[in-house]
Structure 1
Amino acid sequence: MLLSEVIKYPILTEKTYGLMEKGIYTFAVSPKTHKIEIKKAVEFIFNVKVEKVSIINIDKKPKRVGRFNGFTNSVKKAYVYLAQGNSINLFPQDPSVEQELKTKEVEAESAKTKKASDAEKRAAEKIAAKNIKSTKANTSASTPKIRVRKVADK
Structure 2
Amino acid sequence: MNATPRINDERLYDIVRSPVITEKASLIGEHGQVIFRVPLDATKPEIKAAVEALFKVKVKAVNTLRTKGKVKRFRGTLGSRSDSKKAIVTLAEGHSIDVTAGI
Range class of TM-score, shorter chain: 0.7 to 0.9
Distance 1:92 1:9 in 2: 12
1:58 corresponds, among 67, 70, 93, to: 67
Structure number with the bigger relative contact order (C-alpha 8 A, sep ≥ 6) is: 2
Query: 1:19 corresponds to which letter in structure 2?
Result: I
Which residue in 2 is equivalent to 1:14? 23
1:43 corresponds, among 52, 63, 74, to: 52
Larger radius of gyration: 1
Q: Which has the larger helix fraction?
A: 1
1:92 CA drift (Å): 2.9
Q: Which has the larger strand fraction?
A: 2
TM-score when scaled to structure 2?
0.86
Determine if the alignment matches structure 1 residue 84 to structure 2 residue 93: yes
Gaps of 5+ in 1: 94-154
Query: 2:61 corresponds to which letter in structure 1?
Result: K
| 1:1-154 → structure 2 map (5 Å cutoff) | 2-92=11-101
Gaps of 5+ in 2: 1-6
SS, match of residue 91 in structure 1: coil
TM-score when scaled to structure 1?
0.58
Which residue in 2 is equivalent to 1:129? none
Aligned residues: 93
Q: Deviations 1:89-121 (Å, cap 9, x if unpaired)?
A: 11239xxxxxxxxxxxxxxxxxxxxxxxxxxxx
Q: 4+ residue stretches of structure 1 with deviation over 6 A?
A: none
1:30 CA drift (Å): 1.0
Distance 2:40 2:31 in 1: 26
SS, match of residue 25 in structure 1: strand
Percentage of pairs with the same residue: 37
